[in-house]
Structure 1
Amino acid sequence: MAEALTSIKSSDDKIEIINQLLLPHTTEWLRIDNIEQAHDAIKSMKIRGAPAIASLAALSVSQHLTRALRADPPPEFLSSPESLRDHVSPILSFLFTARPTAVNLGAATRRLSRTLQSSLDAGKGVRAIAEDVIEDGRLVAAEDVGRNKAMSKWGGDWLVEEVKRKGGSGEALNVLTVCNTGSLAYGYGTALGLITYLHESGKLRRAYYTQTAPYHQGSRLTALELKTLQIPSTMIVDTMVGSLFQHHKIHAVAVGADRIAANGDTANKIGTYNAAVLAARHKIPFIVVAPITTVDLDVAHGSGIPIEHRPPLEACVVRGALYPPSLDGQGNKAQGTVMITPEGLDGIYNPSFDVTPGELITAIVTEKGVATKGGDGKFDLSSVV
Structure 2
Amino acid sequence: MSTYDHDSIRAVQWTGTHLRLLDQRLLPQRCVHVDLDSATEAAGAIRNMVVRGAPAIGVAAAYAAVLAGRAAWREAGPDWRRAMEPALQALADSRPTAVNLFWALGHMRQVMDGLPAEADPEPALLAAAQGIHEADVAGNRRMGDLGAALIPPGQDVLTHCNAGSLATAGYGTALGVIRSAFAQGRIGHVYADETRPWLQGSRLTAWELVQDDIPVTLLCEGAAAGLMRQGRVGWVVVGADRIAANGDTANKVGTYGLAVLARHHGVGFMVVAPTSTIDADAANGSAIPIEQRGEEEVLELAGQRVAAEGAGAWNPAFDVTPAELIDAIVTEKGVVEHPGGRGVTSLLD
TM range (shorter): over 0.9
Q: What's the CA shift for 1:342?
A: 1.8
* CA–CA distance in structure 2, aligned partners of residues 275 and 9 of structure 1: 33
Q: Equivalent residues in 2 for 1:246-257 (5 A)?
A: 246-257=229-240
Confirm or deny: 8 A CA contact 2:65 2:105 kept in the other structure. no
Q: Equivalent residues in 2 for 1:289-304 (5 A)?
A: 289-304=272-287
Which of 65, 69, 93 aligns to 1:65? It is 69
* CA–CA distance in structure 1, aligned partners of residues 257 and 123 of structure 2: 46
1:145 and 2:145 equivalent? Answer: no
Q: 1:127 is paired with a residue of what secondary structure?
A: coil
1:176 and 2:158 equivalent? Answer: yes
Q: What's the CA shift for 1:63?
A: 2.7
Q: Equivalent residues in 2 for 1:21-32 (5 A)?
A: 21-32=25-36
Which of 212, 216, 219 aligns to 1:229? It is 212
Instruction: Decide whether aligned partners of structure 1 residues 372 and 49 sit closer, same or farther in structure 2, where only a CA change above 3 A counts.
Output: same
2:58 aligned partner, one-letter code:
A
Confirm or deny: 8 A CA contact 1:151 1:289 kept in the other structure. yes
Confirm or deny: 8 A CA contact 2:68 2:88 kept in the other structure. no
Q: 1:204 is paired with a residue of what secondary structure?
A: coil
Aligned to 2:94: 98
TM-score (normalised: structure 2): 0.94
1:366 and 2:349 equivalent? Answer: no
Aligned to 1:18: 22
* CA–CA distance in structure 2, aligned partners of residues 294 and 126 of structure 1: 34
Instruction: Decide whether aligned partners of structure 1 residues 66 and 135 sit closer, same or farther in structure 2, where only a CA change above 3 A counts.
Output: farther
Q: 2:320 is paired with a residue of what secondary structure?
A: strand
2:9 aligned partner, one-letter code:
L
Which of 226, 240, 243 aligns to 1:260? It is 243
1:269 and 2:261 equivalent? Answer: no
Q: 2:125 is paired with a residue of what secondary structure?
A: helix
Aligned to 2:345: 382
1:48 and 2:52 equivalent? Answer: yes
Aligned to 1:351: 316
* CA–CA distance in structure 2, aligned partners of residues 134 and 225 of structure 1: 28
Aligned to 2:103: 107
1:133 aligned partner, one-letter code:
L
* CA–CA distance in structure 1, aligned partners of residues 8 and 32 of structure 2: 17
Confirm or deny: 8 A CA contact 2:280 2:345 kept in the other structure. no
Confirm or deny: 8 A CA contact 1:21 1:46 kept in the other structure. yes
1:379 aligned partner, one-letter code:
R
Confirm or deny: 8 A CA contact 2:164 2:172 kept in the other structure. yes
Gaps in structure 1 of 5+ consecutive residues? 161-169, 320-336
Q: Deviations over 1:138-172 (max 9, x none)?
A: 32223211011011111111x13xxxxxxxxx212
Q: State the identity %.
A: 39
* CA–CA distance in structure 2, aligned partners of residues 108 and 296 of structure 1: 13
Q: 2:309 is paired with a residue of what secondary structure?
A: coil
Q: 2:341 is paired with a residue of what secondary structure?
A: coil
Gaps in structure 2 of 5+ consecutive residues? none
Pick the structure with greater CA Rg: 1
Worse-superposed segment, 11-20 or 212-221: 11-20
Q: 1:54 is paired with a residue of what secondary structure?
A: helix
Aligned to 1:166: none
Confirm or deny: 8 A CA contact 1:178 1:218 kept in the other structure. yes
Q: Equivalent residues in 2 for 1:268-347 (5 A)?
A: 268-319=251-302, 337-345=303-311, 347=312
Q: 1:205 is paired with a residue of what secondary structure?
A: coil
Instruction: Decide whether aligned partners of structure 1 residues 358 and 2 sit closer, same or farther in structure 2, where only a CA change above 3 A counts.
Output: closer
* CA–CA distance in structure 2, aligned partners of residues 36 and 296 of structure 1: 26
Instruction: Decide whether aligned partners of structure 1 residues 2 and 381 sit closer, same or farther in structure 2, where only a CA change above 3 A counts.
Output: closer
